[in-house]
């Protein structure tokens, strides 16, 4: 089984990934893939560089390029896997062609999400609330299948999670879906 994760900034994608990793899933990250590309290109590691590099790779190759590469690695390595941070419609459409692929999405209240990213404090999270809102707006909708369109990706998900409560609450919801998918 391969699970893809999409969702809004700071909604809890990483929390779901950590739960799946505890259950034996191997983790493949779009963010990690992009950071390696950003380093090769000698760009600053931030959200703007991630968007620019992701869009370049998709435009130069295909709308599903990054996700397809990660899916191929996951399939080659075998076992259950999770691919984190799917953001483009082209990625989702391509991955949904595979059997045993399920797309999870996660969202939460915007103020709660901003508090989470500030607390998380990764290199790309050190932004003002205004910049956070600007980034979200830029990534939320787009008619180009090679660019970020979180709204459409969330709509295309097989299972949607609202994460305004506790980590335990989110974990319980994910466990329910895993049981529904007959994951042991």
User: How do the pLDDT tens digits run along the chain, 184 residues long?
Assistant: 999 999 999 999 999 999 999 999 999 999 999 999 999 999 999 888 998 999 899 999 999 999 999 999 999 999 999 999 999 999 999 999 998 999 999 999 999 999 999 988 776 667 899 999 998 998 999 888 778 899 999 999 999 999 999 999 999 999 999 999 988 6
pLDDT at 70: 96
pLDDT at 184: 64
Eight-state DSSP code of residue 148: B
pLDDT at 144: 84
Q: CA-to-CA distance for 153 and 100, rounded, in angstroms? A: 18
pLDDT at 97: 96
Domains of the chain: 2-180 (3.40.50.300)
Angle, to 10 degrees, between the axis of helix 65-77 and the axis of helix 30-40?
Answer: 110
pLDDT at 18: 96
List strands edge to edge, sheet with 2-7: 26-29, 81-84, 2-7, 101-107, 159-162
Q: CA-to-CA distance for 128 and 103, rounded, in angstroms? A: 30
Rg of the chain (C-alpha set): 16
Helices (H) and strands (E) in the chain, counts: 9, 5
pLDDT at 146: 79
């Amino acid at each position: 089984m391969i699970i893809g994760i999409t969702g809004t900034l700071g909604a809890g994608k990483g929390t779901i990934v950590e739960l799946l990793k505890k259950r034996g899933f191997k983790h493949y990250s779009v963010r990690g893939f992009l950071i390696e590309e950003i380093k090769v290109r000698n760009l600053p590691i931030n959200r703007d560089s991630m968007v620019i590099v992701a869009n370049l790779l998709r435009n130069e190759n295909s709308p599903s390029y990054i996700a397809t590469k990660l899916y191929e690695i996951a399939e080659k390595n075998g076992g259950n896997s999770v691919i984190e941070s799917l953001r483009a419609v082209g990625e989702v459409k391509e991955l949904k062609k595979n059997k045993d692929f399920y797309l999870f999405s996660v969202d939460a209240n915007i103020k709660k999400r901003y508090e989470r990213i500030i607390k998380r404090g990764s290199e790309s999270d050190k932004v003002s609330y205004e910049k956070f809102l600007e980034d979200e707006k830029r990534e939320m909708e787009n008619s180009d299948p090679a660019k970020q369109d979180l709204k459409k990706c969330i709509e295309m998900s097989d299972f949607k999670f609202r994460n305004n409560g506790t980590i335990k609450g989110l974990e319980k919801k994910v466990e329910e879906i895993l049981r529904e998918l007959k994951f042991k």
